Structure 1
Amino acid sequence: MRQFATSVDAQFALTELSQVQAYFVNKLQTISTGTTFTSVEWLRDQGTHGGGKRFEASSNDVFNRASVNVSQVNYEDTPEKAFISATALSTIIHPQHPLAPSIHIHVSWTELRNGKKYWRLMADLNPAIEEVNDTRLFNEMLKKASGTYYESGIQQGDAYFFIPALNKHRGVSHFYLEGFVGDENTPERFAIDFAMQAVDCYIAILTEKLSYLAPPSDQQLQQQLDYHTLYFYQVLTLDKGTTAGLLIHNQNDVGTLGSLPAYINRDLLAQWIACSPATQQPLVKALVDLLPATSQVNITAQIKANIAIAIREHYQK
């Protein structure tokens, strides 16, 4: 049985983010008739220190990969730990059609033992092939949802999602606020409302796309495969949240790597070994080596498990 944090603020975060999760899953199921999201529960230390529940859609005509996760980990009984609890909504949706953009949303509440408490807010639009109007709509949503924090969130997002080795960004619109506490005028539900507005904006974009898109061309599918490879590279070599999650524990490896697209271009990934930083080249090579020797690779659950091992071994060295 999962043990939950006793803090009123952590309980608020878990209740509200779980409602956002249920709302998002319901909307995704509604616009993708026939898609079933399966509930998967995972436990930290058999539930003693919490865990989480994610809803996953198997690959189908609409979704390449889709995962909507809510977790709460707490160490109230472990005084040597620096943090008391962390409660998070983390979701990634990769549609099948190359003209339908992917979305990543992360909203979390953290309480440290030194008394510090803060939110972390992220929302980024990730099209394989950019549609300017989608980018405009998403940026308008971010500006409305974040208010006076818009410029700071965009600045931090642009820095976080930049890939120096490739001189490219992951995605076209990036928002990131780390250690967010707001001020006396910040509404209690600021972070929750931010998540809901990001969800509603994405659902509107995806609904419109699914209503008219023609079957993709081979060129569009190749662009998507290559972009998903870039996404794969950024997550596994630069994303601090993913790396930290894998290094802290091994009890949810497949879930932690739930943001990875279903297929990537192994040949393209191999080309990026040489341009990676010297300290990361062994990691990228290890990732390439554990993939089947085909150009297009299906990132299965077993491959995710192997990736997690490779990342841990790399940083332990």
Structure 2
Amino acid sequence: MNKIEKIARTYSDLQKKICNTLESADGKGKFSSDQWEKEIGGGTTAIFQNGNIIEKGAVNFSFVKGKYSPEMKKILGENAQHYAATGISSIIHPQNPWMPIIHMNVRYFALDNGISWFGGGIDLTPHIIEPEDAISFHHLLKETCDRFDTRFYQDYKQWADDYYFLPHRNETRGVGGIFFDRLKPGSSEEFEKLFEFTKSLSLLYPDIYVGYMKKNGHRSYSESEKEWQLLRRGRYVEFNLVHDRGTKFGLESGGNTESILASLPANASWKYNYSPEPGGFEENTLGLLKKGIDWIHFNSKPT
């Protein structure tokens, strides 16, 4: 078994663990699995719909190989003839507007010229930002990063701030998280460290969300809060369709379209030139959709 086959088998197993954890916490919905195969390879699309807490979720695994096209060269900037890639990509859209959207991706990409790398991350997109939740989220990410390298959190947090950003809106997608790409192992020890790092993030991901499910999964909400949730989902759609590299690469490589677009919410809305009421939860949330917020040392209480 070569490296990428080993990684693919591990990621496939992790997909099942993530699904089991989320199903158990929701208590109603179940993931339905769709096995897909194409000329380039295959995978499993696990879709969750209409649960007690989760409205729509996806935990996708894929392992694909193919010819390295000129379009891929433009995206990746590497010279090669063939590629192989495997990964997990997951997103959860909740019923309750006080629950956040969460996204996780880990992947390994290898070219036939000997170049390979890991990528991935976790980010959080609350519809209504409660600073204490953003603070705890970033602390959990930092603790995980620090087990592997104390430079990881700050470097990858900055990367996430820059990546998960809508320049046409001048706002971040949410409260960020960590994002990394092109981490090229220079030795077998470095390979194992980065592989273990992606595995740890995969296991942390459902545990983070279960905490939010327990806290806010059944919280009461108003019609205006639900309306705001749909507007914030619209921003999420804009990012995924306009800026997300994974979406672009997946469609360009001939991957499974339904799996690639499973990240989109079941419902979203757009209002022309919407302006929230001053001083409300909408305006407070918009005020925190900025790059560079130090959530580790953020003071959530007025002094």
Query: TM-score if structure 2 supplies the norm length?
Result: 0.79
Deviation string 1:152-188 (CA, Å, 9 cap, x unpaired) is 1011111111111101111112311111135646635
Q: Which residue of 1 aligns with 2:63?
A: 72
Deviation string 1:117-170 (CA, Å, 9 cap, x unpaired) is 111022101111112222112101111122221111011111111111101111
Conserved? CA contact 2:53–2:213, under 8 Å: no
Q: Distance in 2 between matches of 1:202 and 1:116?
A: 34
Displacement of 1:83 after TM fit?
4.0
Q: Distance in 2 between matches of 1:129 and 1:162?
A: 17
Query: TM-score if structure 1 supplies the norm length?
Result: 0.75
Q: Which structure 2 residue ranges, 5 or more long, are not aligned?
A: 70-78, 275-303
- Structure with greater contact order relative to length (CA < 8 Å, sep ≥ 6): 2
Q: Which residue of 1 aligns with 2:11?
A: 17
Q: Distance in 2 between matches of 1:203 and 1:63?
A: 11
How high is the sequence identity, in percent, across the aligned residues?
Answer: 27
Q: Which residue of 2 aligns with 1:206?
A: 213
RMSD: 2.3
Conserved? CA contact 1:86–1:108, under 8 Å: yes
Q: Distance in 1 between matches of 2:260 and 2:247?
A: 6
SS in 1 for 2:91: strand
In structure 2, relative to structure 1, the CA distance for the partners of 1:170 and 1:77 (3 Å cut) is closer
Conserved? CA contact 2:120–2:181, under 8 Å: yes
Conserved? CA contact 1:108–1:120, under 8 Å: yes
Displacement of 1:64 after TM fit?
2.3
Q: Which residue of 2 aligns with 1:89?
A: 88
Conserved? CA contact 1:62–1:96, under 8 Å: yes
Q: Which residue of 2 aligns with 1:292?
A: none
Q: Distance in 2 between matches of 1:179 and 1:28?
A: 29
Conserved? CA contact 1:35–1:57, under 8 Å: yes
Q: Which residue of 2 aligns with 1:217?
A: 222
Letter in 2 for 1:26: N
Q: Which residue of 2 aligns with 1:151?
A: 154
Q: Which structure 1 residue ranges, 5 or more long, are not aligned?
A: 1-6, 273-317
Is 192-201 or 167-176 further displaced after alignment? Answer: 192-201
Count of residues in Structure 1 that have an aligned counterpart in Structure 2: 257
Query: Map of 1:256-271 to 2, 5 A cutoff?
Result: 256-268=260-272
SS in 2 for 1:57: strand
Q: Which residue of 2 aligns with 1:176?
A: 179
Letter in 2 for 1:31: A
Letter in 1 for 2:56: R
Q: Which residue of 2 aligns with 1:290?
A: none
Deviation string 1:271-303 (CA, Å, 9 cap, x unpaired) is 69xxxxxxxxxxxxxxxxxxxxxxxxxxxxxxx
SS in 2 for 1:121: strand
Letter in 2 for 1:64: E
Q: Distance in 1 between matches of 2:175 and 2:204?
A: 18
SS in 1 for 2:262: coil
In structure 2, relative to structure 1, the CA distance for the partners of 1:246 and 1:75 (3 Å cut) is closer
Conserved? CA contact 1:83–1:110, under 8 Å: no
Q: Which of the residues 12, 21, 35 maps onto 1:41?
A: 35
Conserved? CA contact 1:161–1:174, under 8 Å: no
Q: Distance in 1 between matches of 2:258 and 2:14?
A: 22
SS in 1 for 2:214: helix
Q: Distance in 2 between matches of 1:109 and 1:117?
A: 7
Displacement of 1:63 after TM fit?
2.1
Conserved? CA contact 1:105–1:123, under 8 Å: yes
Displacement of 1:81 after TM fit?
6.0
Conserved? CA contact 2:27–2:51, under 8 Å: no
In structure 2, relative to structure 1, the CA distance for the partners of 1:35 and 1:42 (3 Å cut) is same
In structure 2, relative to structure 1, the CA distance for the partners of 1:203 and 1:138 (3 Å cut) is same
Q: Which of the residues 185, 196, 201 maps onto 1:194?
A: 201
